[in-house]
Structure 1
Amino acid sequence: MAGKWGYRDVVPITAMVAVECSDVVLSILFKAASLKGMSYFVYIAYCYVLATLVFVPLAFLSNRKKLLIPLEFPLISRICLLGLLGFSGQVCAYKGLELGSPTLASAISNLAPAFTFILAVLFRIEKVSFTSSTTQAKIIGTITSISGALLIVLYKGPKVIPSSTSSSVSLQWPLESTQSNWVIGGLLEALAYLFFSFWYIVQSKVMKIYPEEITVNVYYNMSVAIIALAACLIKEQNLSSWTLHPSISVVSVLYSGLFGFPFSSGVHTWGVRVKGPVFVAIFRPTSIVIAVIMSAIFLGEAVYLGSVIGGVILTIGLYAVLWGKAKEEMKDDGSGLSTKAPLLKSQNVEEN
């Protein structure tokens, strides 16, 4: 019982937080590379080619018999749709980051849980009964987590922990971008997270048809790589733009392609199958809190009151959603002693 509970509750939460940590590093590296003139089309193409090369041996080693997926239209069409959604979302996100700023991108990313929840209800993935305590908890938790993340972005407040470094060269988050077209950048970021929300929904359908995460990720990353390479050949006709000089661009591509993208898509695919699309999307706002903590620990940046208050509010919102999901799984299981949930167990239940 303890093992199943950990697999369905503790491990997914830990994995989602780890993905957001990785994504923070990925975003910082891309922003630094884009300031050096790296094209986001080239970046996406290289990263997904490398990600495909990572997943192929993993799929071969895990189960070589399932390396070839069934040639069935419902599965193939959905994987191709996943590739198109993933590529479109990445293009909009990185173009928005290039035109706007990471501050704007971080704020807009908080729309992902709301987008995903609405789409999950429309596609009947999430059960909604406004008189149900679980539905109310998920709705209130989603709104609360978004509010907490926005508070971190919009309100600074006095310092709680002063800066421990006097260096004038420091990498703060969110980074401010000068001369940014924030209107177009914001619209592109909003469109990107709408694409990502659709990605979660379609991925949940794929997992029901063919619940093999590694194999699905092979073909998903391959489809995005093919689309990205074709788009890159059209957009970047000057082949010199494909050259990666020994700099932050190489570091960014290697980290993102060999670890960041495979880790993110792999965990998200597994999380969608185990816990559903809303569960995965609700962790998007935590990237702001993670970035603040990482900046304080590794870069010696100051921690402000707004970050502390926003982090507490965001945590409360996340727990409300997780509580609602856990209670819902208990009801679906048909008994009060479900191994899928809850997140809080009394000692008496565990002993029984």
Structure 2
Amino acid sequence: MARTRSFYKDVLPVVVIIGNEFNDMGTLTLFKAATLQGMNNHVFLAYAYAVATTILLPVLYLNRRSRVLPPLSFSIISKIVLLGALGSTSQILGYAGVNYSSPALASSIANLVPAFTFMLAVTFRMEKLAAKRRSSQAKVLGSIISIAGAFELTFYKGPSVINGHTRLTSLLDQRFRFLKSDSEDAIWAIAGILLTADYFLASLWYILQVHILNEFPDELTIVFFYNVTATIISVTVGLLAAPNATAWKIGLDISLVSIVCSGIFGKLMSNVIYTWSVGLKGPVYVTSFKPFQIVIAVGMGVIFLGDTLHLGSIIGATIISIGMYAVLWGKAKEEIEEDVGSLESVTTENVPLLHSYISETFEKKTDGNV
């Protein structure tokens, strides 16, 4: 029983979260491939959320019939709608950023999420911060380093380290062939700003999830109403951004494959996994696995998209990773200090009882000997 509980709380979350990072970068790579073929990113997002909502509807119905769940109050629904607004806005900004750059840049800037999440957790008093403790100093310094790395990554592209050569690369080159080098750098910077805003909102999304799960601990219901809200918002934005009906026509090609995969594995499965993981381990723990996205995205981008890996991405990702691991080290040290403190407290509380027991035993033995 103890082994099963340990596996569920310690081993399973690690395996599931790392697998989900592969899942996220796979769907993001498919999205990039679809946009290079002419797919509008707003239309893509609207379709993906619609697919997830449609699939989740019968699943939610069966789930609510088989389980006894607390009633949905207006307060809970309002918070889930806010969660949907945050999530869909984050996705709109993120997909726009990837459309202007690459999944590799997105995965590098994703390392800001642990730092953003920590700062927000401190703001909302979910994390403790003591200025004189090394653990708190490490978390603060790590957050600052991560943000500095994101700025470097955004505003310095640098020379290419790995050049990609595929048909998709030629499509991208044709798309931007009228741009000069300065314009490309400006687009890269805009993409970095969009992605940074995306991941800040994503951090808020994690924090709000914890608050909602404390009141309503049902992941499927939360994800369903989240997807409904996100579908409404993304369809509205899509119609405003792409009013032409031809932009909404989907053929039997990579666009359809990417939409279906993103809806099932991204907007549905990934959100359920993140909600479950946040409820089990907390937002700071879940976001600590974001650096895995760098290796995954670079590999997929170079192999499948023909992306070019730039020196600025390597330097920025390294700086961000150093800052992120400083935050994690501070978090781990803080947990150790809390465990030691609680152990000392228990020991101190038990000392009078132990002393009393020894005294009574000694008195009884003394009386017997007399």
Structure 1-normalised TM-score? 0.76
Instruction: Say whether the 8 Å CA contact 2:52–2:268 is kept in structure 1.
Output: yes
Could you tell me which residue of structure 2 aligns to residue 219 of structure 1? 225
TM-aligned CA deviation for residue 319 of structure 1? 6.2
Q: Are 1:11 and 2:20 counterparts? A: no
Instruction: Say whether the 8 Å CA contact 1:130–1:136 is kept in structure 2.
Output: yes
CA distance in 1, matches of 2:168, 2:328: 30
Do the aligned partners of residues 315 and 120 (structure 1) sit closer, same or farther apart at CA in structure 2, a change above 3 Å counting? closer
Instruction: Say whether the 8 Å CA contact 2:84–2:229 is kept in structure 1.
Output: yes
Instruction: Say whether the 8 Å CA contact 1:26–1:256 is kept in structure 2.
Output: yes
| Alignment partner of 2:256 out of 232, 250, 254 | 250
CA distance in 1, matches of 2:335, 2:13: 13
- Residues 1-352 of structure 1 correspond to what in structure 2 (within 5 A)? 1-64=2-65, 70-132=71-133, 134-136=135-137, 138-139=139-140, 168-169=165-166, 178=176, 179=179, 180=184, 181-292=187-298, 310=318, 320=329, 323-324=332-333, 327=336, 330=339, 334-335=342-343
Find the structure with the greater CA-based Rg.
2
How many residues are treated as equivalent by the alignment?
328
Instruction: Say whether the 8 Å CA contact 1:144–1:314 is kept in structure 2.
Output: yes
CA RMSD between the two structures = 4.0
Instruction: Say whether the 8 Å CA contact 1:26–1:252 is kept in structure 2.
Output: yes
Could you tell me which residue of structure 1 aligns to residue 357 of structure 2? none
CA distance in 1, matches of 2:332, 2:72: 39
The residue type equivalent to 2:188 in the other structure is: W
CA distance in 2, matches of 1:146, 1:13: 25
- The percent of aligned pairs where both chains have the same amino acid is 38
Instruction: Say whether the 8 Å CA contact 2:168–2:306 is kept in structure 1.
Output: no
The residue type equivalent to 1:169 in the other structure is: T
The residue type equivalent to 1:261 in the other structure is: K
CA distance in 1, matches of 2:63, 2:330: 33
CA distance in 1, matches of 2:229, 2:281: 25
The residue type equivalent to 2:189 in the other structure is: V
Instruction: Say whether the 8 Å CA contact 1:16–1:283 is kept in structure 2.
Output: yes
CA distance in 1, matches of 2:289, 2:258: 23
CA distance in 2, matches of 1:246, 1:152: 37
CA distance in 1, matches of 2:65, 2:334: 35
Do the aligned partners of residues 41 and 31 (structure 1) sit closer, same or farther apart at CA in structure 2, a change above 3 Å counting? same
Do the aligned partners of residues 171 and 39 (structure 1) sit closer, same or farther apart at CA in structure 2, a change above 3 Å counting? closer
Instruction: Say whether the 8 Å CA contact 2:29–2:301 is kept in structure 1.
Output: no
CA distance in 2, matches of 1:13, 1:193: 21
Instruction: Say whether the 8 Å CA contact 1:30–1:252 is kept in structure 2.
Output: yes
Do the aligned partners of residues 300 and 28 (structure 1) sit closer, same or farther apart at CA in structure 2, a change above 3 Å counting? closer
Instruction: Say whether the 8 Å CA contact 1:146–1:285 is kept in structure 2.
Output: no
The structure whose residues are more often helix, as a share, is 2
CA distance in 1, matches of 2:127, 2:340: 14
Instruction: Say whether the 8 Å CA contact 1:51–1:258 is kept in structure 2.
Output: yes
The residue type equivalent to 1:240 in the other structure is: T
Instruction: Say whether the 8 Å CA contact 1:67–1:215 is kept in structure 2.
Output: no
Runs of 5+ consecutive residues of structure 1 not aligned to the other structure: 337-352
The residue type equivalent to 2:79 in the other structure is: R
Deviation digits for residues 2-50 of structure 1 (CA, Å, limit 9, x no counterpart): 3222222222222221111111111111111111111111111111111
Deviates more, 1:58-67 or 1:78-87: 58-67
Instruction: Say whether the 8 Å CA contact 1:149–1:285 is kept in structure 2.
Output: no
Instruction: Say whether the 8 Å CA contact 1:56–1:218 is kept in structure 2.
Output: yes
